[in-house]
Amino acid sequence: MKKVIGAVALSLFISMSIPTNSMAGVKKGQRLYKKHFYKKCKFSGVMFARNHLQAEWEEIYETGKFPQEAKNICPNLVIETIKEEWWKEIYAYAVKYAKDGVPPNGCND
């Protein structure tokens, strides 16, 4: 019985310590924003994300209007320079730091 409990506890510890794909997407989205958006937008990624609630970002992304909304928020952004596969990570970042999302820890990403 002790071996079973130990094995379950160990597997839970390992699964909780491995970052999930969504967290990897958020971190990559943060890096992509800093590299490709910040110079054009002139404001932080958190300020970008705080333009909508999480549900609003989700609806925008699911309807395929995320690149256009990014352009609306940041008119100087040339959306054609952003690779198609990057939008998913930028979306993950925007959802995490949306108005009703995780508050930033004093950082201006």
Contact 32, 81 (CB under 8 A): no
Rounded to whole angstroms, how far apart are CA atoms 97 and 99? Answer: 7
Residue 109 lies in a domain: no
Is residue 65 domain-resident? yes
**Residue 36 falls within a domain, yes or no?**
yes
What domain count does the chain have? Answer: 1
Task: Provide the pLDDT for residue 61.
Answer: 97
pLDDT in tens, 62-76: 999 999 999 999 999
Q: Which domain holds residue 76?
A: 21-96
pLDDT tens-digit series, residues 36-64: 999 999 999 999 999 999 999 999 999 99
- CB-based burial of residue 58 (10 Å sphere; 0-12 exposed, 13-18 middle, 19+ buried)? middle
List of long-range contacts for 76-84, beta carbons under 8 Å, 24+ apart: 76/40, 76/41, 76/42, 77/37, 77/40, 77/41, 78/40, 81/36, 82/32, 82/36
